[in-house]
Amino acid sequence: MEATTAATEARPVRLLVFGRQGAGKGTQAVRLAERYEVPHISTGDMLRAAVKDGTEFGLQAKAIMDAGQLVSDEVMLGIISERLAEPDAARGWLLDGFPRTEQQAKDLVALVGADGIDLALDLDVPESVVLERITTRRVCSECGTTYSLGRDESASSGTCAKCGGGVVQRDDDTEAAVRKRLDIYASQTLPAVRWFGEQGLLVTIDGVGDPDAIATALAEAIDARLG
């Protein structure tokens, strides 16, 4: 049987990607958006852009993000409604980081209609695994290359093998900060994931292992749904 090439799909493809921080969601989301030729809409990226622009809203968002909290459902609905009304979203989209609560999930369905979502994908990586991945992560403060303690010499030496810059742990990669975000994921976002399960829209993919194999599993689940 020949594999379906997504590029030949004429109708819009509308996807959601869930996953704990450190599950590899962002990387897989970029790959899927390319494959299905839809915009990759990351609410985290949109909020960080607002912070960079220095608008009043950006300042408020920064305080919330720095505290590891969630921006309000009402504000997020406004942001996502505007974004989905842009011309490039007419041929589909991939949402990364939204919805993040059960209320946002219901708001999204109210916005796009009951048939307006093709599939929600849950990239499942256990808490213990992401905690280990993130707390051993070190990053070069000059060139941004990431290293892992126990795997890369630069992580333990503190000197970047590429540029000689200082290799450090990011403030939000400490165990306390990561635990806080994982707790919010469990209490706020998992109910949204389960809600999509109840709607028959959810596929869970094992997110531990080779990124290429995970990308293939995700694409197979989507192609099966699109028929």
129 sits near ligand AMP (criterion: CB under 6 A): no
Q: Contact 57/43 with Cβ under 8 angstroms?
A: no
Does the annotation count 137 as an active-site position? Answer: yes
Q: How far is the CB of 121 from ligand AMP (least distance, A)?
A: 15
Distance from C-alpha of 133 to C-alpha of 122, rounded to nearest angstrom:
18
In the complex with ligand AMP, which residue's Cβ is closer, 182 or 226? 182
Tokens 């403030």 sit on residue: 171
Query: Which candidate in 137, 179, 180, 225 is catalytic?
Result: 137
Selected catalytic residue, list 25, 31, 35, 133:
25
The CB-of-27 to ligand AMP minimum distance in angstroms stands at: 13
Active site annotation includes 225: no
**Least spacing, CB of residue 45 vs ligand AMP, in Å:** 7
Measured at the alpha carbon of residue 209, what is the angle toward residues 208 and 211, in degrees to the nearest 5? 105
Question: Which tokens is 51 given?
Answer: 């912070």
Is 76 an interacting residue with respect to ligand AMP (CB under 6 A)?
Answer: yes
Contact between 189 and ligand AMP by CB under 6 A: the answer reads: no
DSSP per-residue string spanning 94-122: EEES---SHHHHHHHHHHH-TTS--EEEE
Interaction between residue 193 and ligand AMP (CB under 6 A): no
Of the candidates 102, 105, 129, the one whose C-alpha atom is nearest the C-alpha of residue 191 is 102
Q: Active site includes 181?
A: yes
147 binds ligand AMP (CB under 6 A): no
In whole angstroms, give the CA distance from residue 138 to residue 154.
Answer: 9
Task: Supply the minimum distance, in Å, between the C-beta of residue 182 and ligand AMP.
Answer: 11
The strand pairing partners of 177, in sequence order, are none
Catalytic residue list contains 151: no
Closer by beta carbon to ligand AMP, 48 or else 225: 48
* Closest listed residue to residue 125, CA positions, set 17, 41, 16: 17
Instruction: State which of residues 36, 98, 185, 196 lies at the interface with ligand AMP (CB under 6 A).
Output: 98
Exposed e or buried b for every residue in 142-165, given b needs 16+ CB within 10 A?
A: eeebebeeeebebbeeeebeeeeb
**Mask of contacts with ligand AMP, 51-70, x by CB under 6 A?**
-------------xx---xx
Of 31, 100, 133, 138, which residue is the catalytic one? 100
Residues that bind ligand AMP (CB under 6 A): 21, 43-44, 47, 64-65, 69-71, 76, 97-98, 100, 104
